[in-house]
Structure 1
Amino acid sequence: MITRRQLFAGSASLGLLGALAACGGDDSDSGTDGIAKELRLGFFPNLTHATALVGVKEGLFTKSLGSQTKLTTQQFNAGPAAVEQIFAEALDATYVGPNPTVNAFVKSKGKIVRVIAGAASGGVAFVVKKGITEATLKGKRIGTPQLGNTQDVALRYWLKEKGLTATKEGGGDVKIQPQENAQILEKFTAGQLDGAWVPEPWVSRLLAAGGEVLIDERDLWPNKRFVITNLIVRTEFLEKYPKTVKALLQGHVAANDAIKSDAAGSQQAVSDQIGKLTGKPLKLDLIKKAWPTLEFLNDPIASSLTAGAQHAEEVGLLDKVDLKGLYDLKLLNEVLKEKGETSVTQP
């Protein structure tokens, strides 16, 4: 059986989450005719969440939701923390990585969440101090955003394939130290970490602090494409407020269209939002360097999520899972059809 510790490091007990769920969102999302009065949306201040950052900054979600639904946003550092809020019914939808998505689906026995769209592929790398190679990783201290998050699993699986051990407690050949991205940067700069497996913009920030890329994660996947961010929603919210979820997806698709049609404007929007959310603006030149490593798309690339789940199983962070029912792309395809865009295959 999957333990709570494996799924949500440092999270509250299931009983506490149940208690939170009992009192969460009673009135905030009550509406009529499939339209909620409020939509609570989560995302991260990362380049891999540019769809959300652009959508919020340019008012695309607010426009698509209309006057009947208030948009409330909340930022997170890593997926497990966002999923905790989904479980507590304190969040209705969130942009999140594939492994926390799988964890949430499995822990709730397929009941709590649904993937309703993809958002981004790529934009992740293993950055190390100059001079460190695969052959010299033993004894090194490596950061990840959070135990069990997408990058944490990717690092542990890669190390396993290289014949290196890494325990959940921070032991083994390579000492993995999960912590917030901002702390990773501080400790790397101070010489207290030897590297980190992180998403953008933290890759660029570590490079600016003197690091170098040991592994570009795109090189580990077929066609260099893998889901790094998708959009999930609480199943109950989806069933109760399909019109609001469709409106959210209209904003989502509009944001991805804006990113494709106006890269420069989108880069500026991302820079502005990251600065607003973290207090540390990301320089445009760093964003421009990182941009080519990312692809923003509506397809959730389900095959890579399935592979990621298998990787989590192999490193002991997940039991064998059945992901049937995880995806519900009906509303996304309705939106794409109305815009004359290519539909996404339902897994």
Structure 2
Amino acid sequence: MAPENERGAGERPPIRTEVRTAGVDRKRTGRRRLGWPAVIAGLAILCVVTVTATVLRANGTLDALEQAVTETSDAEEITLGYFGNLTHGPALAGVERGFFEEALGDTELSTQVFNTGPTTIEAMNSGEVDIAFMGPNPAINSFVQSGGQSVTTVAGATSGGAQFIVSDDVAGEDDLAGRTFATPDFGGTQDVALRVWLQDRGYEVDTGSPESVSITPMPSGQAFQTFRQGSIDGFWGPQPWVTRMAQEEGGNVLVDERDLWPDGRYPTTILAVRTEFLQQHPQTVEKLLGGLEDSVDYLDTAETSEVIETLNDGMEAARTEPLEPETIAASLEAMEWTTDPMESTYPTLLENGVQAGTTQDASLDGFVDDTYINTVREQRGQEPVGGELAAAVVPSGAQGSASAGGSLGSGGRRHAA
């Protein structure tokens, strides 16, 4: 090649080209200018990527992908909420007999005792409680209000145990106008059940008219004392309070809620967990569910006298007055222990809440996740829970059910307000 100063006039210098060999990283010694077409193409690609990410975020796909790669771990501590009611028997036995503590291993267990579902949900929403036993309706309300973000139901605990007990001067379901009844709390599961039951029989509720039925929410223990004083005409609530009203105060069972559901099965107590906690510590939740299975197995297989003693000790630890063994025995006949969350009943429970005016209609997709409880059951060689249960049909003339205090019914007549 001739030196530059020896090139002929008008001769162009050669283009320097670098050959890139596979596996060898070399830098070009010269740069090509991109030009406007390439810049525009790059911006278009960036816009497509941005729009795609926005769409994926909007429909939840990107969140799901991010969640899938989120690192999870055992929690150092878990706070469990429950009630001092017999309908929370698996919680009482699980705490009293140490089933939860043993299943959790190195995770420290702390507990908080509540007396209503709405107050339990408030504690969960504030982060004070991680997982709690409660009735299904407060959990549904929280799920709906949060757009499906607050809680996830991971198991059942109890079916049955809720009854409508009335004073002995109530002649039947046609004799309720102008009377006052109590429920554990506004928007709670039994509160919703009573409101819907009354509305379906043509009663006005809390309108102030002479024919209206008044509902006064109050904690179950307070309702028992108020019923004893004669200040309310009845109570739709859980065990053991309704049995105590029948045995000790001469009340009568107007409605046993089992009679309003197919096969007499419906969720009275479920186990719900803060969704954020579940996402961060699924292993811990699964371990606690192992303790729940141990507790339910114990309640189902131990001698009745031992179960009664355990439940009494558990209620006393939960600051609930110990009961006579006969009272607990009668209460147990009205309940079934089960870890089945009975998922297919929730559309009806939501519909009831909407009718009662305590919640709004919404999708319940994601409200129940029985994956964890079924993993535990599979490891133990047990059949999975879940499956279909027909929606409840609340008959317009549901009969009262016999119990400790007798039974009242009106032969299916609908009250004309």
The alignment's TM-score, normalised by the length of structure 2, stands at: 0.73
Deviation track 1:38-96 (CA, whole Å, cap 9, x = no partner) reads 11000011111001000001000000001x21111111111000000110011000001
SS at match of 2:374: helix
SS at match of 1:278: coil
Which consecutive residues of structure 2, in runs of 5 or more, have no partner in the other structure? 1-70, 389-417
1:275 aligned onto 2:297:
no
Aligned to 1:344: 385
SS at match of 1:151: helix
Q: Which residue of 161, 166, 183 maps to 1:123?
A: 161
Mapped partners of 2:211, 2:313: distance in 1? 40
**CA contact 1:92–1:233 (8 Å) conserved in 2:** yes
Deviation track 1:190-229 (CA, whole Å, cap 9, x = no partner) reads 1101100010011111112221111111001111000011
The alpha-carbon deviation at position 171 of structure 1 amounts to: 8.9
Mapped partners of 1:170, 1:275: distance in 2? 42
Q: Which residue of 291, 301, 305 maps to 2:332?
A: 291
SS at match of 1:146: coil
**CA contact 1:156–1:315 (8 Å) conserved in 2:** yes
Aligned to 1:18: none
Q: Which residue of 339, 356, 369 maps to 1:328?
A: 369
Q: After the TM superposition, which residues 1-347 of structure 1 pair with which residues of structure 2 at under 5 Å, given as runs?
A: 34-66=73-105, 68-132=106-170, 133-167=172-206, 173-207=212-246, 208-264=248-304, 265-345=306-386
Mapped partners of 1:171, 1:330: distance in 2? 51
SS at match of 1:311: helix
User: Which range moved further: 85-94 or 208-217?
Assistant: 208-217
Indicate how the Cα distance of structure 1 residues 43 and 171 shifts in structure 2: closer, same or farther if over 3 A, else same. farther
**CA contact 1:170–1:176 (8 Å) conserved in 2:** no
Amino acid at match of 2:154: I
The alpha-carbon deviation at position 318 of structure 1 amounts to: 1.6
Mapped partners of 2:284, 2:119: distance in 1? 24
**CA contact 1:143–1:177 (8 Å) conserved in 2:** yes
The alpha-carbon deviation at position 275 of structure 1 amounts to: 2.3
Amino acid at match of 2:361: K
Indicate how the Cα distance of structure 1 residues 171 and 236 shifts in structure 2: closer, same or farther if over 3 A, else same. farther
Deviation track 1:75-133 (CA, whole Å, cap 9, x = no partner) reads 11110000001100110000011100100101110011100001110001000011311
**CA contact 2:87–2:158 (8 Å) conserved in 1:** yes
Mapped partners of 1:204, 1:236: distance in 2? 38
Which consecutive residues of structure 1, in runs of 5 or more, have no partner in the other structure? 1-31
Mapped partners of 2:208, 2:380: distance in 1? 49
Mapped partners of 2:176, 2:356: distance in 1? 18
Mapped partners of 2:350, 2:108: distance in 1? 34
The alpha-carbon deviation at position 305 of structure 1 amounts to: 2.3
Mapped partners of 2:298, 2:381: distance in 1? 15
CA RMSD, 1 decimal: 1.7
Amino acid at match of 2:76: K
**CA contact 1:327–1:346 (8 Å) conserved in 2:** no
The alpha-carbon deviation at position 168 of structure 1 amounts to: 8.3
Indicate how the Cα distance of structure 1 residues 94 and 258 shifts in structure 2: closer, same or farther if over 3 A, else same. same
**CA contact 1:328–1:346 (8 Å) conserved in 2:** no
Aligned to 2:404: none
The alpha-carbon deviation at position 314 of structure 1 amounts to: 1.1
SS at match of 2:288: helix
Deviation track 1:217-260 (CA, whole Å, cap 9, x = no partner) reads 10011110000111000111111111111111000111011111
Deviation track 1:2-45 (CA, whole Å, cap 9, x = no partner) reads xxxxxxxxxxxxxxxxxxxxxxxxxxxxxx96111111000011
Mapped partners of 2:210, 2:381: distance in 1? 52
**CA contact 1:143–1:197 (8 Å) conserved in 2:** yes
User: Which range moved further: 108-117 or 257-266?
Assistant: 257-266
Amino acid at match of 1:55: G
User: Which range moved further: 146-155 or 317-326?
Assistant: 317-326
Segments of 4+ moved more than 3 angstroms: 168-172
The alpha-carbon deviation at position 276 of structure 1 amounts to: 2.8
Mapped partners of 2:359, 2:138: distance in 1? 11
Mapped partners of 1:82, 1:342: distance in 2? 31
The alpha-carbon deviation at position 167 of structure 1 amounts to: 2.9
Asked which structure has the greater CA Rg, the reply is: 2
Aligned to 1:20: none
The alpha-carbon deviation at position 279 of structure 1 amounts to: 4.5
Indicate how the Cα distance of structure 1 residues 172 and 108 shifts in structure 2: closer, same or farther if over 3 A, else same. farther
Mapped partners of 1:71, 1:315: distance in 2? 36
